[in-house]
Structure 1
Amino acid sequence: MDQAASGGHLEVVQFLHFNRSEGCTTSAMDSAAAHGHLDVVRFLHDHRDEGCTKNAMDKAATNGHLAVVEFLQEMRHEGCTADALVGAAKNNHVAVIEYLLKCGYVSESKSRNPIEFAAKYGHLEMVKLLYERNGGMGLAIDRAVEGGHEHIVRYLYGKRPVKSVPRMVVDRAAAAGHWRVLQYLLKQGLELKWTKEAIQGAAQNGDIEVIELLIRSTPPAAIPLSAFDQAANNGHLGVLKRLYQFQKDQDEQSLPGSQRREKQVQLAASRGHLELLQWQYREYPESFTSAAMDGAAAWGQLDVVRFLHYQTKTKCTSQAMDQAAENGHLSVLRFLNEVCGAECSRAAMDVAAKKGYLDIVRYLHAHRSEGCTTEAMDGAAANGHFDVVKFLHDNRTEGCTTAAMDRAAEGCHLHVVKFLHDNRTEGCTTRAMDEAAGSGELRIVKFLHENRTEGCTTRAMDSAAKSGYLMVVQFLHEHRTEGCTIAAMNGAARRGNLDVVKFLHPHRREGCTKDAMDGAASRGHLSVVKFLHENRKDGCTKRAMAGAIMKQALTLVKFLNKHPKEGYDRRILDALEDEDDLGASMILQYLDPERPMDSASQRERIRRLRFETDHESVMGEFDWSQSEDEELEEAERDEEEEEEEDDWDEEDEESLAEMVRSYTGDDDDESDEDEDEDEDEDEYEEDEEASDESVDDEESDLE
C-alpha cells in the first residue's frame, strides 16, 4: 500500500485497504503528499489510522503541491518543519510560501533561512515576498553574490546596505566568474577582500575580467603561484600573460622561479596547449626540460612532441616511450623511436601487454630490443587479452608465471585459462580454483578440477558461499575434499544467502558461530535469522539486536526481541535518535515508547553516553540524581542551547559513531568479513613479489 500510494494508484490503495490486512505505514500518506496525489491523501486520511509525519507537508510544500499543503494544514495536526519553507523558497513556489506564512509558520533555524535559499537560487519575487513579510535578510546578500544574481544583490543592497562581504563569498563569486556582481559591489564603495582562492579559481576558468577586477580593487602583494599553474594547465594564454605582466610591474622578485616555470611548461605540454607553449618558449626557453616531452608523450600530444623536438630541441627520458606505450599512443611511440631516437625500458611492453595494446606490443617487439618480463603475459592473462597472450607465447621467450593462470581464473577468462593449460608448462596454484569459485565461475572450477592437479583450499567453498554461488558450493562439496570452514556459513548468513545456508546446514559439519546470526541481523536478513534460530543452536550476541536496530528493520527487531532474547545495550537507542527518519522513530516507539524526543534531552543523553563510555568501569560509584538547584540550572542551560543551532558538535557525533561501531560491527564492513582471506592473499602474493618488484619500481617512476 505504501508503494501504491506513492505512485498515486488510488484504486490499488482502495483494493488493498478493503481486501488485505497488511495495512500501510505513515510512509503511504507522506509519499502520496510528496508527489501531489491529493485523492490518495484524502482516502488515507478518511479510512486509515496510520496518519503521516511532518514529512508529508514538508515534501508537498517543497514540490509545490499547494492543494495538498492546504488539506494537511486544515484536516491534520502534524504540521511541518522549517524544511517546508526552505524547500518552497528554493523551488520558487510563491503561492505555497504565502499560504504557510499566512498560517503562521516561520523558520526558527539560523542555518535554514528561506530567504537565503531564494537568494542563492535567483528567485527575486520570492526574495521580495520573504523580506517584506519578515523583514529579515540573514545572509541572503552573501548567497546572492555567490550565485551571481546581480538583480537580487541590487534589491537587497537597496533595502539594507552592507559595509563588506566576507572573503569566502568573494572567493566563490570570483571562482564562478560572477564579475558583474563584484563590479556592482565595488561601485557601491565596498572594499572587496579576497584570498588566493579567488584569483586561483578565476585563472583556472580563464576569467580575465574577474582577475582584472580583483587586482584593480585590492592589489595583492603577490599573485599566488597556483594561479599561474592553473592558467597554464587550462591553456588560458591571455590570463597567464596578464598575471606575469602584473607581477612584473609590482615586484619582479615575486615572479615564479625556474622550477615553477618548468612545472607550468610541463602542464601546458601535457594538456596539448601548443600556442601557450610557443609563448612560454619565447619568454623563458630555459624552462623547457625533459619533463615537458615526457608529459606530452604520456598524454599522446603528438603535435606538442613534434614542436618540442623540432623547435626547442628538448630531449626526453625513457619514461616518454614507457608512458606512451602504457597509454596506447602508438603514433607518439613511433615518432619518439624513429625520429627522436628515444629509449625505453621493459616496462613499456609489460604495461602495453597488461592493457591489451597488441599493436604497441607488436611494434616494440619488431623495433626495440629491451623486451619484457613475465609480467607481460601475466598481466595480459589477468585482464583476458587473449590475442596478446598468444602473441607473446608465439613470439617471445620470457614466458609467464603461475600468476598468469591464477589471475586469468580470477578474472573469469576461461579461454585464456584453457590456452595456458594447453600451451604453457608453468601451471597454476590453488589460488586459481579458489578465486574462480569466489567469482562464481563454475565453468572454470570444473575445468580446473577435471584438467589440473593443484586443487584448491577451503577458501574456495568459503568465498563461494559468502558470495551466494550455490551451484559452485554444491560442486565443491560433491567433487572436492578440501571442504570449508565456519566462515562459509557465517559469510553466507551475513550476505543473506539463505539457499546457501540451507544447503550447508544439512550437508556440512563445520557449522557456524554466533557471528552468523549477528551478521545476518546487522544486514536486515530476517529469513536467515529465522532459519538459524529454528534450526541451529549457535545463537547470537547483543550485536544481533544492535545491528537490527541500527538497520531500522522493525520486523526483525520484533523477532529478536521475542525469540533469542539476548537483549541489547540500551545506549544504542541514543545513537538511533540521530537518525531523523520514520524507520528510526518506529523502532524507538516500539522499544521505548516513553522516551522523550526533544533536542535538549538528546544532548543530555549524548553527554551522559560520553561519560559512560569514558568511565564505564566506575559507573556504579556515581550518583546521577540531581538537586532542585541543579535541575533549574540545567533547564536554563537547555533553554539557551535551544536558541542556538540544534546540530551536535563533532565530538558528540564521533562518540555516537564509536558506540555504533562497537555494537554493530560496521566500522569496516567488508574488511572484517574478509579477514581470513587477507592471510591467503598474502600467501599468494609472496610468490609474485620477486617478479613484480622491478616492474612496480618502473611503474612508480612513470607515475
Structure 2
Amino acid sequence: MTTPPPLSSISLAIPEQLQALPHTLDLINTFLMPKTIDAAVYNDLHRVVGAYGEFRLWTVGAMDGAAARGRLDLLRWLRTNRTEGCSTEAFTGAAANDHLNTLMWLCFFYPYLFDLERDLTTAARHGQARIVDFLKGDVLIAGEVEPAMEAAAANGYVDVVEILLTEPFVQNLTRPLLAAVRNGQIAVVQFLCDKSLERLYWMDSDQAFNVALEEGYTNIAAVMIRKCHLNSVKLALESAASRGYTDIVMMILDRYMLDEYEFAPALEKAALNGDCDMIELLLENCALPIDTPAEREHIFSTTVEACLGAAVKANRVDVVQLIVKKLGPD
C-alpha cells in the first residue's frame, strides 16, 4: 500500500451528496490527516500507529510527549527502536510534570540537551519541589538559580522558594520579592520578609511597597509596613494618599514619626484628587501649627491653597475649619 487508508469517520460524517463529488473524500481525508504519528505513539493508540505509522512522520515529538507524561517504558522503546531522539521539550516536559525518574533518564542518555537554568526554572514555575531539590545540587553560580527563584515567587510556591533559599549563591532577592508582589503572592512576600530580611537590599522594601500599591494589593503593602523598614516614608505616604488607601495611610502614621514638611506631598495629592477625608486624616496627624509664619509659608503655602480649594469645592466646612485651626493664629 502506497497511501494510507482513509479515516473511517469521514464517510460517516459527510452527506452522500458531497461524497458523490470527485475526490471530495480524498481531499477531506488529506486535510484532516495529522502530519506526524507522534500523538498516537505517546497516547498508546496502537491501532492508529499500526494503520498509519508507515505513512506519517515520526519526529522528536513522540519522545517529547512520552517524557511529559512520565512514560519511561515508552522512552526506552523509542530509543531502542527509533532514531529520532528527543528535543529540549522532553526535559522541560518532565520537569514541569514532576517526572523525576524520567528526567534522570534523559540526563543520562541525552546530557547535551540538558540545561540547568532552563529546567530548574521550569520546575520552579510549576511548583515541582522534588525536581527543584534534585536539580539545585548542580547549581554553581547565582545566575542559574535566580530565574527559578523568581518564577517560584511569581506563582506563589513558598516551598520551592524555601528550597532555593538554602543555596549560598542566592543573595539578591529583589527580583523574587517584586515578582511575588506583582502577582499578589502574599504568602511568598511574608516568607521572604520573615526568613530573609537581611538579604533584602535597603531599597527593596520601598520598591515592593510602591509596586503593591500600583497593583492594588493593599494587603501586601500592609505586610511591607509591618515587617520591613520603609526608607522613604514621605514617598510611601504620598503614594498611599494619592490612591485613597486610608488604611495604609493610617498604618504608616501609626508606625512612623513624620516631620511636618513630610505631609506636604501627600496633602497635595489628596487635594488634587478632591479627597477631603484624606486631607482631614493627614491634617489630624500633622503636628501643626508650625512655630513661625515664615517657616509655615515656606513649607505649606502651595499645599494649603490646594487643600482649601478642594475643601471649598466639596463644601466641606469641617475641613476648612480644620485647616484654619492647624495653621495657627497667624
User: TM-score, normalised to structure 1's length?
Assistant: 0.33
Matches within 5 A, 1:31-430: 37-41=10-14, 43=16, 44=18, 47-50=21-24, 51-52=26-27, 54-58=30-34, 81-82=35-36, 85-86=37-38, 88=40, 92=43, 94-95=45-46, 98-99=49-50, 102-108=53-59, 113-120=61-68, 122=69, 124=71, 128=75, 130=78, 133-134=81-82, 136-147=85-96, 149-151=97-99, 153-158=100-105, 161=108, 164-185=114-135, 190-191=138-139, 194-217=144-167, 219-220=168-169, 222-233=171-182, 234=184, 235=186, 236-245=189-198, 247=199, 255-257=200-202, 259-268=203-212, 271-272=217-218, 273=220, 274-280=222-228, 284-285=229-230, 287-313=231-257, 315=263, 316-318=265-267, 320-321=269-270, 333-341=275-283, 343=303, 364-367=313-316
Structure with the larger RCO, 1 or 2 (CA within 8 Å, 6+ apart): 2
Q: Residues 510-564 of structure 1, C-alpha deviation per residue, up to 9 Å, x if partnerless? A: xxxxxxxxxxxxxxxxxxxxxxxxxxxxxxxxxxxxxxxxxxxxxxxxxxxxxxx
Q: Structure 2 vs 1, CA of residues 240 and 132 (structure 1 numbering), >3 Å: closer, same or farther?
A: farther
Q: Structure 1 pair 100/208, CA: closer, same or farther in 2 (3 Å)?
A: farther
| Residues 548-697 of structure 1: pairs in structure 2 closer than 5 A | none
Q: Deviations over 1:144-201 (max 9, x none)?
A: 2442x223x4135347626553422322322332222222345xx6447625322222
8 Å Cα contact 1:231/1:239 also seen in 2: no
> 8 Å contact 1:170–1:198 — kept in the other structure?
yes
Letter of the aligned partner of 2:102 in structure 1? Answer: Y
Call closer, same or farther: CA 1:173–1:297 in 2, change over 3 Å. Answer: farther
Could you tell me which runs of 5 or more consecutive residues in structure 2 were left unpaired when the two chains were aligned.
1-6, 287-302, 318-330
Q: CA RMSD in A?
A: 4.2
Deviation at 1:204, TM superposition (A): 2.7
Higher-Rg structure is: 1
Question: In structure 2, do the counterparts of structure 1 residues 52 and 297 end up closer, same or farther at CA, with 3 Å as the change threshold?
Answer: farther
CA distance, structure 2, for counterparts of residue 42 and residue 263 of structure 1: 65
The answer to whether the 8 Å contact 2:152/2:161 transfers is yes
Counting only pairs closer than 5 Å after superposition, residues 456-471 of structure 1 correspond to structure 2 as none
Q: 1:146 to 1:364 in 2, by over 3 A?
A: farther
Q: TM-score, normalised by structure 2?
A: 0.63
Once the two structures are TM-superposed, the CA of residue 340 in structure 1 deviates from its matched residue by 1.0
1:278 positional shift:
0.8
Task: Sort the Cα spacing of 1:298 and 1:216 in 2 relative to 1 into closer, same or farther, 3 A.
Answer: same
Task: Verify the 8 A CA contact 1:201 1:227 in the aligned structure 2.
Answer: yes
* Gaps in structure 1 of 5+ consecutive residues: 1-32, 59-80, 248-254, 326-332, 350-360, 369-703
Opposite residue 238 of structure 1, the aligned amino acid is: F
1:331-367 CA distance string (max 9 Å, x none): xx34312221395997xx9xxxxxxxxxxx9995313
Contact 1:177/1:202 (8 A) holds in 2: yes
Distance 1:291 1:205 in 2: 29
Contact persistence 2:67–2:102 (CA under 8 A): no
Distance in 2 (CA, whole Å) between partners of 1:167 and 1:262 is 29
For residue 250 of structure 1, what is the aligned residue in structure 2? none
1:173, 1:310 → 2: CA distance? 42
Residue 39 of structure 1 deviates from its aligned partner by: 0.9
After TM superposition, where is structure 1 displaced by more than 6 Å over at least 4 residues in a row?
Answer: none
